[in-house]
Copies of this chain bind each other. A is one copy, B any other.
């Protein structure tokens, strides 16, 4: 069962981002700003940085997630994000045997044809075990394990990279599993740093915010919100964007 936890992060990340932003415009040092900056100023500096695409200060706030019980289909996609840090459970050393063998079941199959999938998963496991027993090393026997086999991975990204990651992976075109991971990561970071992640969303939102006077946020979004974009970068026309985002987010319901 997929589990996404925020296990470590820059506690004072919002303040760190705001001070760094301000220092680029000021002659004064960190200490001065740390002592004098108000909550209100923090919000203002963060909003200003995001609205004008002044991303570099956002890199000073980091987030470490433990992402457990995902498939190697998803982990393979995840590690394609190169501006991030990963430590992954190795199937060369940590065998996914017994209760640890819990391959991922896609929601499209959960509802029907689950038996076919489970049979396939069981057969693969049996073959894996037979090969191990015959003395084939773990690292080779695992070639028969299914792509859906479960793994754990520790991931660290900074707030800027998270904007990039969310832009791509909250999108309904993203594969369902990495999409579910992204929506869960969003929930986690919103809890701790609501200002930093206020205007984040799939690329339709992020690109819209590049070009409109008042930024829109996922929370405030409603059917009546008018997009200026003619289309999102994936090709969804203006009128379809709202519904597309709802579809994307509904993955959280499907995997419950």
Contacts and interface: CB of A to CB of B under 8 A. Distances in A.
Interface of A: 3, 5, 7-8, 10-13, 16, 19-21, 23-27, 29-31, 34, 51-53, 56-57, 59-60, 62, 64, 66, 68, 71-73, 75-76, 79-80, 82-83, 85-90, 92-96, 100, 103-106, 108-109, 112-113, 116-117, 119-121, 123-124, 127-128, 130-131, 134, 136-137, 139-140, 142-149, 152, 154, 156, 158, 175-176, 203, 207-208, 210-213, 228-235
Given A73-B142, A124-B124, A142-B147, 15 more contacts: A5-B31, A8-B12, A29-B152, A51-B233, A79-B80, A80-B86, A108-B140, A109-B136, A117-B131, A117-B143, A120-B123, A139-B176, A140-B176, A210-B229, A228-B228
Given A120-B123, A131-B116, A230-B213, A175 B139 contact: yes
B60 A87 contact: yes
Nearest to A97: B27
Given A3-B29, A24-B88, A75-B76, A108 B136 contact: yes
Contacts of A146: 124, 143-147
A222 B19 CA distance: 41
Contact of A144 (B5, B75, B121, B203): B121
A86 B23 CA distance: 11
A146 B104 CA distance: 14
Nearest to A233: B53
| Chain A binding surface, main DSSP class | mixed
Contact of A108 (B137, B149, B203): B137
